[in-house]
A and B are shown apart, each in its own frame.
Chain A
Amino acid sequence: MFDTPHRETSVDQTEIKISARGCQVYYGDTHAIKDVSVEIEDKTVTAFIGPSGCGKSTFLRCLNRMNDTIDICRVEGDILLDGEDIYDPKVDPVQLRAKVGMVFQKPNPFPKSIYDNIAYGPRIHGLARNKAELDEIVEKSLRRGAIWNEVKDRLDAPGTGLSGGQQQRLCIARAIATEPEVLLMDEPCSALDPIATAQVEELIDELRQQYSVVIVTHSMQQAARVSQKTAFFHLGNLVEYGETGHIFTNPEDPRTESYITGRIG
């Protein structure tokens, strides 16, 4: 297995896609993210690991302002996407989310047809001028979501009728249909069986060619398999961030080491 992989990371051109500086997140009085600064690279898979409740999801949701929907949630500090502050009052979160797509822990297809699931995003963003173009986008997205062959004969069937793994790949296809630049994935494989997980992981590796992918995962093996960079969170702090291979082979912080060896979390 790939417990300690040494993948050829794209060291040659490391462009920064997202950079967070002194990010603090509060839920009411709870301080959920404490002064996190991190630089997420383009065309790279970045894994967030850490014990549950440490704030991985919270931080991930800051990156596309999904936290805005939680009334009591307050975000401080700067988060820059391509050098622009996404929390600037002039930024429309709706526009931001078209650029920063998201895949959730539980597969959540719309209770509509498979076709409409994919077509919804392009439709509301006006990405297709006519039906033929939309058809093309749907097919392309489903192909890239590695699910085209399974659903091409039943695009009118409800997306909710698919198996869990298929639903999750449908959700990934839906997320990439809007042509985002960053794809955030919050434990996308936690509800999937090993075969579906392997398919999704393969997919993530492919997506790296074009996107910056951030994935939250509970499985250290998964982080090791798919990511080039890993961030370890603990109790709201970013404890360690670096090359995946480096973090897994010789972690600098004792907390990282105990988590990786299974002593906390």
Chain B
Amino acid sequence: MTDMSQPGTAAPSGKNRSSLLAADARTKRRNASERRFRLMGLIAVSIGVLALVGLLTSILGNGLSSFRQTYIALDVYLDPAKLDKSGTRDIEKIKKVTTFGYKPLIEKALVAAIEKAGVDDQGLSGKKIGAMISPEAPATLRNYVIANPDKIGETIPFDLLAGGRIDGFFKGRVTMESAALDRNTSPEQLRLAEALRDKGIVVTRFNWAFFTSPDASDTRPEAAGLGVALLGSAYMMLVVLVLALPIGVAASIYLEEFARQNWLTDLIEVNISNLAAVPSIVFGILGLAAFINFAGLPQSAPIVGGLVLTLMTLPTIIIATRAALKAVPPSIRDAALGVGASKMQTVFHHVLPLAMPGILTGTIIGLAQALGESAPLLLIGMVAFVREYPGAPPEGFFDPASALPVQVYNWTTRGDPAFVERASGAIIVLLAFLLMMNIIAIILRRRFERRW
């Protein structure tokens, strides 16, 4: 047992005995190939990391500014001569005054504020000064008055949205040069805005409205928010969770633990695996045909979106659950059956608890997939422009709503560059949710690490 040399490498006489201190040719070749492999791996990882960093910088660079918004703080006199000519405070008559009736009030308030602060108005006309305020502002005012008609005649402080260009100027998107070429703004307006900011009349602060307000039209990107999309996505996730988790888990348990292995179960298994690979847009077509055209459910409704996403998520959940059930050692089943537990008791008392982390991980990954899915939603009309919030569940499931990824898609198709910022902001929100869900999945996995 002392001579372990391979034939040809060393003579048994010991004349050519190789030293351990010098690597032989074979070892050198092996080491070189290992080094090459490591280098390739390193390059692959670097490319991946670079792509990720590039993506994140681009999205964060474009989108982070959407979490801040420029406001103009104004004391607006709610002139009864304009808002309630009859003087009766009759709500129906007040409602007849459109946003056009409110616009002059805001204009006047801003001009007055400029005068009071002693800021040079850059020779701008009242109309041009008024154009610095978002077209959304009169609507804000009107909603306030309709809600509080008794305030007519008083002077009320408001934080009104600044126009998209002014907002863009403070975020670095709009410059003096670009403003000179822009029909919608002018360098004078920007200079005035700067002076007003120094006086504290124009302020930039955290943009809560981005999360709470609904989408806005093409001309007022500064007012566009994710509120309806967030609510719509939440409703859909609820539908998916409530339907896909029990159906998926029940189907998996039946297939894995109870069904006899025969051609039928084989066929079902193959079909489920194939379903997982079906392009999501196909599920959209199916949803359109089955839920809207056949079942007559409303378009753009979270219930339909949820149902379509449920169909899409089911294979993922079933595959993950079956894998989790398969991973439970058979000895545990034997042990339970051996002490006289029934099949059902064995599954529910012993197998399922052990498979639970895997099942939950699969479910969360399926949900994350569903949350980021846009293609099938486009087909069932969830891309519509929705400004009304869906109602509270369960009726709210049938109201029109939007969804996060579709909102991103929607905003990227619009002309105003301010919508690029909004879209990137929405992507950040979406990514934050996905990250959160994946972290939960990881924690669950760690938490219930295999205990056998």
**Once the chains bind, are B338 and A160 in contact (CB under 8 Å)?**
no
A108 within 8 A of B: yes
Q: Can you report 29 A-B residue pairs in the complex whose CB atoms are below 8 A from each other?
A: A66-B334, A66-B337, A66-B338, A71-B260, A94-B342, A95-B340, A98-B339, A101-B338, A104-B331, A108-B332, A108-B334, A109-B335, A110-B332, A110-B335, A110-B350, A111-B354, A111-B451, A120-B336, A120-B349, A121-B340, A121-B341, A124-B340, A124-B341, A125-B340, A160-B452, A171-B335, A175-B339, A177-B339, A178-B339
A56 within 8 A of B: no
- Given A104-B335, A124-B341, A171-B335, 19 other A-B contacts at CB below 8 A? A71-B261, A94-B341, A94-B342, A95-B340, A97-B339, A98-B340, A101-B339, A102-B334, A102-B338, A104-B331, A106-B331, A108-B334, A108-B335, A111-B452, A121-B340, A124-B340, A158-B451, A160-B452, A178-B339
List residues 338-360 of chain B with CB under 8 A from any CB of chain A: 338-342, 345, 349-350, 354
**Contact-size category for B:** 20 to 34
> Chain A residues with Cβ under 8 A from B329's Cβ?
108
> Chain B residues with Cβ under 8 A from A234's Cβ?
none
A13 within 8 A of B: no
Query: Which residues on B are within 8 Å of A, measured CB to CB?
Result: 260-261, 329, 331-342, 345, 349-350, 354, 451-452
**Once the chains bind, are B338 and A175 in contact (CB under 8 Å)?**
yes
**Once the chains bind, are B341 and A108 in contact (CB under 8 Å)?**
no
CA distance A104 to B240 in the complex (A): 42
**A69 with B333: in contact, given A111-B451, A111-B452, A120-B349 (CB under 8 Å)?**
yes
CA distance A111 to B356 in the complex (A): 14
Which A residue sits closest to B328, measured CB to CB? A111
Q: How many residues of A contact B (CB 8 A)?
A: 28
> Chain A residues with Cβ under 8 A from B354's Cβ?
111
> Chain B residues with Cβ under 8 A from A124's Cβ?
339-341, 345, 349
**Once the chains bind, are A110 and B331 in contact (CB under 8 Å)?**
no
**A174 with B339: in contact, given A66-B334, A104-B334, A160-B451 (CB under 8 Å)?**
yes
**Once the chains bind, are A104 and B341 in contact (CB under 8 Å)?**
no
CB distance from A236 to the nearest CB of B (A): 22
CA distance A174 to B336 in the complex (A): 10
List residues 60-112 of chain A with CB under 8 A from any CB of chain B: 64, 66, 69, 71, 94-95, 97-98, 101-104, 106, 108-111
> Chain A residues with Cβ under 8 A from B331's Cβ?
104, 106, 108
> Chain B residues with Cβ under 8 A from A110's Cβ?
332, 335-336, 350
Which B residue sits closest to A161, measured CB to CB? B451
CA distance A170 to B425 in the complex (A): 58
> Chain A residues with Cβ under 8 A from B452's Cβ?
111, 160
In the A-B complex, list the 7 residue pairs whose CB atoms are closest, starting with the nearest. A98-B340, A108-B331, A121-B339, A102-B338, A97-B340, A111-B451, A108-B335
